[in-house]
Amino acid sequence: MKVALLQHTPDPELAVALAARLCYSHVDIEALKDRLSGADINNFLDKIMSLGHQSVLEHASFTFGIEGISRVTSHQLVRHRVASYSQQSQRYVSHKERFAVVTPPTIAENPGFASLYEAQIAALHAGYAALVEAGVPAEDARYLLPNATETKIIVTMNARELLHFFGVRCCERAQWEIRAMAIEMLKLVRPVAPTIFKKAGPGCLGGPCPEGSMCCGKMVDVRKFFQEL
């Protein structure tokens, strides 16, 4: 898996603070911008976050390039609808030569499971390649491709949606692959917007576990992990 922060709103915390201050100020925007110092921005953002006034976070956006994830994970990712996605097409990109796959650790760590898995993938690839070679369009042959097939996707989310995404997908109960991806994304945005994302992570960081009876029971370790991230 490879996750890169391709671009983001220039000075995202200034953009958010400026939008928030504008709601309560009679001065013009340029004058307001000139008045905001670094300390003012941090203090104001801390106040906004503590009050839960998160609509202004939508003024900051972040674009990620993600490679080497499975279709299992991309299907989960696009359920986050307040975002923009561009994904490698299986209609136009042929996998005739060989399609790469993601292997879950529970399979990779067991020689017997891994052997079975690899054999099934090889059979699917042979079938796919034979169909394409016979003239079947890639858009039809792709029906044979498994959920394990690797994909590439570009994702743009605003800061508010990212906080929600991290709250859900950094949780121990999230599937391992999307959780690993979410953690990598969080590592990338924290240095860019440290005040906005300093408390980002699973829902249990700031209170009781939102999973209730389905709690993983690891809150102490989880909180320590994200504090040190």
98 is in an annotated binding site: no
The pLDDT value given to residue 225:
93
Backbone torsions φ then ψ of 149, nearest 5 degrees: -55, 130
Crossing angle of helices 176-189 and 159-169, rounded to 10°: 140
- For 2-85+151-203, give the CATH class: alpha beta
159 is in an annotated binding site: yes
Q: What percent of the chain has pLDDT over 90?
A: 72
Query: 173 an active-site residue?
Result: no
Q: Are strands 2-8 and 61-70 parallel, antiparallel or unpaired?
A: antiparallel
Distance CA(224)–CA(229), nearest Å, equals 9
Strands (E) located in 58-197: 61-70, 84-87, 150-158
CB of 165 closer than 8 Å to CB of 157: yes
227 is in an annotated binding site: no
pLDDT at 177 > cutoff 70: yes
Q: Which residue has the higher pLDDT, 197 or 38?
A: 197
Amino acid, single-letter form, for residue 168? V
The pLDDT value given to residue 196:
94
Render pLDDT for 103-128 as a digit per residue (tens, 0 to 9).
999 999 999 999 999 999 999 999 99
The pLDDT value given to residue 99:
84
SS3 of residue 162 by DSSP? helix
Task: Kindly name the residue from 35, 169, 179, 223 that is annotated as catalytic.
Answer: 169
pLDDT at 183 > cutoff 90: yes
80 is in an annotated binding site: yes
What ranges do the domains of the chain cover? Answer: 2-85+151-203, 102-147
Of 29-33, 48-52, 170-174, which one has max mean pLDDT? Answer: 170-174
